[in-house]
Amino acid sequence: WQSAHEHKIQIAQTVTTLCGAESEPEKLPASVRGDALLTHQYLSDVEAYFEQCILEEAQISSSSVPGDFLLLPDMFKSLDLRKAIEARYGSAPSEHGLQAWKDRHKWRREVDLSGARQYLLQHLPTGDKLLQQVRDTQSDFQHWATHLGTEPLKLFIDTTNPKSLLYLQMIMLNLQIIYAQDDAATAWLAEQETNTSSLFGTLRYGFSPALKHALHQEADALLNGLGDVTNLATRIGELNGALNHQGFVDKPWMKALKQPVQDTFKALGELARGAGKATLE
Q: pLDDT digit string (tens) for 231-258?
A: 444 444 455 555 665 666 667 777 777 8
Residue where one domain finishes, among candidates 97, 127, 157: 127
Q: What residues make up the domain containing 25?
A: 2-127
* Under 8 Å between Cβ of 75 and 56: yes
Average model confidence (pLDDT) for the chain?
83
Question: Where are the alpha helices (H) located in 181-258, listed in sequence order?
Answer: 183-195, 209-222, 239-243, 252-255
Q: How confident is the model at residue 224 (pLDDT cuts 50, 70, 90)?
A: low
User: Do residues 165 and 107 share a domain?
Assistant: no
pLDDT over 50 at 152, yes or no: yes
Say whether both 156 and 120 belong to one domain: no
pLDDT in tens, 17-47: 999 999 999 999 999 998 988 999 999 999 9
Q: Are residues 226 and 258 in the same domain?
A: yes
- 251 & 204 share domain: yes
pTM above 0.75, yes or no: no
What is the per-residue burial (b if ≥16 Cβ within 10 Å, else e) of 45-57? bbbebbebbeebe
Structural domain count, the chain: 2
Determine, yes or no, domain membership for 71: yes
Domain-embedded: residue 62: yes
Are residues 248 and 154 part of one domain?
yes
- Compute the average pLDDT of residues 193-218: 84
In a domain, 139, yes or no: no
The verdict on 159 and 107 lying in the same domain is: no
- Same structural domain for residues 114 and 10? yes
In a domain, 107, yes or no: yes
**Is residue 224 in a domain?**
yes
